[in-house]
């Protein structure tokens, strides 16, 4: 996954799962189509759009696994889209790839202005909450379920040169030694946050767009922006100029713990979509559990899509890549239950969001942005009203 920025634009998250609350915990998904038809059975035909169109924030990848789990292997692939029955709910679902699939629009923008590539207006978007906060006045949206509990965004370093970058102080020390941080943009919220905490602005290099050569040839002095679920694996296994271990540190540990994969709805459509979301959100929660426990079928679909010319030539998700991503999500609690493991999967911590707002708004204000809602609060950008508290990742 390419980790793009937010400030000034983003290139970049009653039970509806029928009776199958535990089947996915004990039975591997042998046939994705029959699994979806059996387990996602609540009738959505009278409450949800058909097809239900969901815009993602990037090309298909394991981080989006819960959405793809709703269709499984029963969908049809076309350029930037995957469409198929959402179980036996009576509706179809269409997933639109982000990045080149929506001309890199921020997801809240696409919910209002429409997708300029596929030329449809999505019913739901999926992306980071910091983007929702930033655009809370111009394109107001509300997050309804998180596909990941913690942000997978990391700094990647040569373990021989910088084996520990777990604190802001260690980043400042690395910069003093001559290290440079290769990021998508210096205007990205987390970069501006780190600069405000004392990391020298001169230590950042903008322009990262998925290329790994700068890191591989940087003699250990380039610290790379990336995702624990993507670039870490690619550097260790798919980059001939490197192909060896790396060290990585989560950006969230520096004090800005964003939700990166949140399903969101345009605020002006929330009343009309509420009946749909009441039944759909618990399905998404259950699909998150199903995928993370038995990801093989969806991983094969992701591989087929990305290798079949339906995405972008520079983006691939081999079975080994996706398997490693799932291991990483589980190992580091990137996908897990909310409330420190005690709450439902997909729940949103409004106190955590409010803390992020307190950090982000001064950054937006300093840059002269007029796109965020003055006095924006966590309840303006997120809600747990559709979350089923009983849907949890076992263990």
128-184 pLDDT per residue, tens: 999 999 999 999 999 999 999 999 999 999 999 999 999 999 999 999 999 999 999
User: What is the reported pLDDT for 16?
Assistant: 35
> How far is residue 150 from each of residues 214, 223, 284, 329, measured CA to CA in Å?
27, 21, 17, 9
The one-character DSSP state at 385 is T
Strand, helix or coil for residue 264: strand
Residue 226, beta-bridge partner list: 154
Residue 24: pLDDT over 70: no
Please work out, in degrees rounded to the nearest 5, the angle formed at the alpha carbon of residue 109 by the alpha carbons of 106 and 110: 90
For 19-39, what is the mean pLDDT? 51
Higher pLDDT, 328 or 1: 328
Question: Which residues contact residue 29 at a Cβ distance below 8 angstroms, ignoring those fewer than 6 apart?
Answer: 35, 72, 290, 294, 296, 297
- Closest C-alpha among 206, 219, 251, 248 to residue 231: 248
What is the DSSP secondary-structure string of 314-379? T----HHHHHHHHHHHHHTTSS-BTGGGTS-BT---HHHHHHHHHHHHHHHHHTT---SPTT--HH
Position 376 scores a pLDDT of: 98
Q: Work out the pLDDT band at 5, boundaries 50, 70, 90.
A: very low
Percent of the chain with pLDDT over 70: 91
pTM: 0.91
Does residue 388 surpass a pLDDT of 60? yes
Q: What is the pLDDT of residue 163?
A: 96
Instruction: Find all residues with CB under 8 Å of 392, minimum gap 6, and list them.
Output: 289, 337, 343, 344, 345
DSSP 87-118: TTSS-EEEEE--GGGTTT--HHHHHHH--TTT
- Give per-residue pLDDT as tens, 88-102: 999 999 999 999 999
What's the confidence (pLDDT) of residue 28?
A: 34
Nearest to residue 145, comparing CAs of 53, 262, 275, 268?
262
| pLDDT tens per residue across span 279-301 | 999 999 999 999 999 999 999 99
CA pair distance 101, 82, nearest whole angstrom:
12
- The share of the chain scoring above pLDDT 90, in percent, equals 90
Give the residue carrying structure tokens 């540990």.
253
CB atoms closer than 10 angstroms to residue 62: 27
DSSP 43-77: --TTTS-SSEEEE-SSSS-GGGHHHHHHHTT--EE
pLDDT-derived band at 27, boundaries 50, 70, 90 = very low
**Helical (H) or strand (E) element with 277:** helix 270-293
Report the mean per-residue pLDDT for the chain. Answer: 92
Please tell me the predicted confidence (pLDDT) of residue 395. Answer: 80
């Amino acid at each position: 996954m390419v980790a793009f920025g937010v400030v000034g634009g983003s290139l970049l998250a009653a039970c509806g799962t029928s009776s199958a609350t535990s089947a996915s915990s004990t039975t591997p998904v042998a046939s994705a189509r029959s699994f979806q038809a059996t387990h996602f059975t609540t009738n959505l035909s009278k409450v949800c759009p058909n097809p239900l169109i969901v815009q993602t924030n990037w090309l298909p990848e394991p981080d989006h696994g819960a959405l793809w789990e709703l269709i499984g292997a029963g969908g049809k692939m076309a350029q930037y889209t995957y469409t198929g029955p959402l179980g036996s709910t009576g509706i179809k679902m269409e997933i639109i790839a982000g990045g080149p699939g929506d001309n890199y629009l921020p997801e809240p923008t696409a919910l209002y202005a429409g997708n300029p590539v596929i030329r449809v207006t999505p019913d739901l978007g999926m992306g980071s909450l910091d983007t929702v906060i930033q655009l809370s006045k111009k394109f107001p949206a509300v997050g309804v379920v998180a596909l990941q509990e913690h942000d997978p965004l990391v700094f990647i370093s040569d373990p021989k040169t910088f084996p520990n970058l777990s604190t802001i102080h260690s980043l400042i020390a690395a910069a003093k030694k001559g290290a440079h941080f290769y990021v998508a943009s210096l205007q990205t919220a987390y970069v501006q946050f780190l600069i405000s905490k004392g990391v020298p602005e001169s230590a950042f290099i903008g322009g990262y767009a998925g290329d790994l050569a700068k890191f591989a040839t940087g003699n250990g002095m380039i610290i790379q922006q990336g995702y624990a679920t993507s670039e870490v694996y690619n550097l260790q296994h798919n980059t001939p100029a490197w192909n060896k271990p790396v060290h990585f540190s989560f950006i969230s540990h520096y004090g800005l713990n964003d939700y990166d994969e949140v399903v969101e709805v345009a605020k002006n459509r929330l009343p009309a979509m509420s009946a749909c979301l009441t039944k759909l959100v618990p399905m998404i929660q259950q699909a998150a559990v199903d995928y993370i426990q038995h990801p093989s079928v969806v991983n094969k679909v992701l591989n087929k899509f990305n290798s079949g010319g339906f995405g972008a030539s520079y983006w691939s998700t081999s079975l080994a890549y996706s398997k490693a991503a799932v291991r990483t999500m589980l190992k580091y609690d990137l996908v897990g239950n909310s409330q420190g493991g005690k709450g439902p999967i997909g729940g949103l911590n409004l106190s955590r969001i409010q803390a992020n707002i307190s950090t982000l708004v001064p950054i937006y204000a300093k840059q002269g942005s007029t796109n965020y809602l003055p006095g924006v609060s966590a309840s303006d950008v997120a809600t747990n009203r559709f979350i089923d508290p009983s849907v949890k990742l076992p263990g």
